[in-house]
Amino acid sequence: MASSQLKSHYVSTRPTKAAKHNDAVLQHFRRKGIAVSRIKAQDQLVDATRTRNIEALDTSKIIPTDINKTGGLPVELEIFVRAKVMLRSNIDVKKGLVNGAIGFITEIHWPNFGRAQMYEQDIPSVTVNFGNNGVHRIEPISVQFSAKRSYGTAERRMLPLILSRAATVHKMQGSPVDYAVIYLGRKLFAADQAYVALSRVKSLDGLLIEELDCSSLSLFYFPGTRAIVGYTAPNYFTGLLETHWKGFLQ
């Protein structure tokens, strides 16, 4: 695994764009003949507040679809050896295994000497190379959260990982990288979004702007420092400094 691969990233402002990029990478590896394993989470209702017809309940209908409401655990995950992944849970803070840590899968360990998920409970563990934070085996974890429609408490068991060739600005907070491709086009939508994205990169030498729309950016200058990109709404502040912004990138 090249160090530059671990420390490079595609940073998007929107989850759909990051998901499309990750899917494109997944298809690329499939075309190269890499074996991709699909893993489904194990969900169950552990504390039901509504018991009527509970035996016939389809659990999938009461599980939130938003990953942020399921403890960061995805309902499904496609992985392969060499897949770039991000931790979605704090596993061991002292070892650097925290939410947002990025690494590459080096081995997949299936239970009972299997080679695929035959049953819901057959969720593998994986060995991940986290670069400077070392090589660690990541096991499935269980997280409890509120079920939909006031059904009580649900529990999901899954690997605390997501594919991470691309990630949103929000998920990259606190994760500096050496190289990044960053979108700065018209679809920026939140204050300081451009600044947060650009501040993930350690130097201008490692920065590639995918699309630049200066009308979506405002720029502030503090004496004695370099220019800092601020809000991402074209009319949020007056005095747009387009020429200074272009000079900052050069």
User: Is the same domain home to 114 and 144?
Assistant: yes
Judge if 118 and 180 occupy the same domain.
Answer: no
Q: Do residues 55 and 147 share a domain? A: yes
Do 33 and 149 have their domain in common?
yes
- Say if 142 falls within a structural domain: yes
* β partners of residue 97: 92
Are both 35 and 145 inside the same structural domain?
A: yes
Residue 183 to residues 5, 149, 168: CA-CA distances in angstroms?
19, 38, 10
Residue 164, pLDDT score: 84
Would 80 be classed as within a structural domain? yes
What is the DSSP code string of 78-95?
EE-TT-EEEE-S-SBGGG
21 and 130 belong to one structural domain: yes
Per-residue pLDDT band for 247 (boundaries 50, 70, 90) equals: very low
Q: Is residue 56 part of a domain?
A: yes
Residue 141 lies in a domain: yes
**Residue 211 domain-assigned (yes or no):** yes
Residues 52 and 77 in one domain: yes
In the structure encoding, which two tokens stand for residue 203, read together? 């130097």
pLDDT at 118: 93
Gap between the Cα atoms of 166 and 9, Å rounded: 6
| Among 145, 166, 187, residue at a domain's last position | 166
Question: What is the torsional sign of CA 173, 201, 106, 35?
Answer: positive
Residues 105 and 161 grouped into a single domain: yes
What is residue 47's predicted lDDT score, i.e. its pLDDT? 87
Of the given ranges (50-54, 87-91, 115-119, 164-168), which has the lowest mean pLDDT?
Answer: 50-54
Residues 101, 21 share a domain? yes
226 and 125 co-located in one domain? no
Whether 138 and 224 share a structural domain:
no
Instruction: Kindly compute the dihedral angle of the four CA atoms of residues 186, 182, 212, 210, in this order, to the nearest 10 degrees.
Output: -110
- Which run of H or E residues covers position 22? helix 15-31
Predicted local distance difference test score (pLDDT) of residue 212: 75
Cα angle vertex 46, ends 42, 47, to 5°?
Answer: 155
Distance CA 75, CA 60 (A): 10
Domain count, the chain: 2
Please list the residues that pair with 77 across neighbouring strands: 39
The two three-digit tokens of residue 90, written as one number: 């704090």
Query: Each residue of 122-150: pLDDT tens digit?
Result: 999 999 999 999 999 999 999 999 999 88
Range of the domain at 211: 176-230
Does residue 183 fall inside a structural domain?
yes
- What pLDDT, in 10s, does the model give residues 163-220? 888 776 666 776 777 878 887 777 665 657 777 778 878 888 888 887 777 776 665 5
State how far the Cα of 68 lies from the Cα of 145, in Å rounded to an integer.
10
pTM (2 d.p.): 0.74
Residues 162, 181 within the same domain: no
Burial class (CB in 10 A: 0-12, 13-18, 19+), 191: middle
